[in-house]
Structure 1
Amino acid sequence: MNRSGVSGGLGALMRSAAITGGVAAGIGAWALAPRSIIESRRNKVPAIPRVKYAHRGLHDAGSGLSVGTVNERCAYVDLARRCAIKAGYADESFAGPVAPENSLASFAAACVAGYGIELDLQLTRDGQVVVVHDSDLKRVAGDPRKIKDLTYEELKNIPLFPAPAKSGDAVAVTRGDGKWDERPEGYYQHVPLFSDVLDVVGGRVPLIVEYKFDHYGWDDAAEELMEKGDALLQAYAGAYVVESFHPGAVNWYRKHRPSVNRGQLAENVAFGKSDWREWMCGLLAFNWLGRPDFVAYDWRGGDLPQVRFARKLGAKTVSWTVRSSLEFQRSGEYFDYMIFESFVPGI
Structure 2
Amino acid sequence: MTALTEGFLRLPLAHRGLHDVADGRPENSRAAIRAAIKAGYGIEIDLQLSRDGRAMVFHDYDLERLTGIKGAVRQRDAADLAQLPLLGGDEGIPDFAEVLALVAGRVPLLVELKDQHGQMGETDGILEQATADCLAGYNGPVALMSFNPHMVTRLAALAPLVVRGLVTCGYTAEDWPLLRADTRARLRDIPDYGPSGSGFVSHDIDDLDNPRLAELAGNGAALLCWTVRSPEAETKARKVVQNITFEGYLPALPA
TM-score by length of 2: 0.89
Change (3 A) 1:300 1:231: same
Q: What CA distance in whole angstroms lies between the structure 2 residues aligned with 1:105 and 1:290?
A: 34
The residue type paired with residue 47 of structure 1 is T
* Partner SS for 2:31: helix
Deviations 1:51-92 (A, max 9, x none): 11000000113xxxxxxxxxxxxxxx6xxx4xxxxxxxxxxx
The residue type paired with residue 239 of structure 1 is P
Q: What CA distance in whole angstroms lies between the structure 1 residues aligned with 2:46 and 2:54?
A: 13
> Which of 54, 58, 81 is residue 18 of structure 2 equivalent to?
58
Q: What is residue 47 of structure 1 aligned with on the other side? A: 5
Deviations 1:87-138 (A, max 9, x none): xxxxxxxxxxx21100111101111111110001121112221100000111
Change (3 A) 1:46 1:313: closer
Question: Does the 8 Å contact 2:83/2:93 carry over to 1?
Answer: no
> Which of 301, 319, 324 is residue 230 of structure 2 equivalent to?
324
Q: What CA distance in whole angstroms lies between the structure 1 residues aligned with 2:172 and 2:59?
A: 23
Change (3 A) 1:304 1:160: same
Question: Does the 8 Å contact 2:190/2:212 carry over to 1?
Answer: yes
* Partner SS for 2:70: strand
* Partner SS for 1:287: coil
Write 1 or 2 for the structure with the bigger share of helix: 1
Q: What CA distance in whole angstroms lies between the structure 1 residues aligned with 2:159 and 2:99?
A: 22
* Partner SS for 2:226: strand
Alignment of 1:49-198 (within 5 A): 49=7, 50-61=10-21, 81=23, 98-162=24-88, 188-198=90-100
Change (3 A) 1:256 1:192: closer
Q: What CA distance in whole angstroms lies between the structure 2 residues aligned with 1:316 and 1:219?
A: 26
Q: CA deviation at 1:150?
A: 0.9
TM-score by length of 1: 0.67
Question: Does the 8 Å contact 1:56/1:120 carry over to 2?
Answer: yes
Q: What CA distance in whole angstroms lies between the structure 2 residues aligned with 1:208 and 1:54?
A: 10
Q: What is residue 185 of structure 2 aligned with on the other side? A: 279
Taking only aligned residues, the RMSD between alpha carbons, in angstroms, comes to 1.9
Q: What CA distance in whole angstroms lies between the structure 2 residues aligned with 1:143 and 1:303?
A: 39
Question: Does the 8 Å contact 2:129/2:158 carry over to 1?
Answer: no
286-295 or 326-335, larger mean C-alpha shift:
286-295
Aligned pairs, number? 245
Q: What CA distance in whole angstroms lies between the structure 1 residues aligned with 2:155 and 2:123?
A: 16
Q: What is residue 312 of structure 1 aligned with on the other side? A: 218
Which structure has the bigger radius of gyration? 1
Q: What is residue 154 of structure 2 aligned with on the other side? A: 252
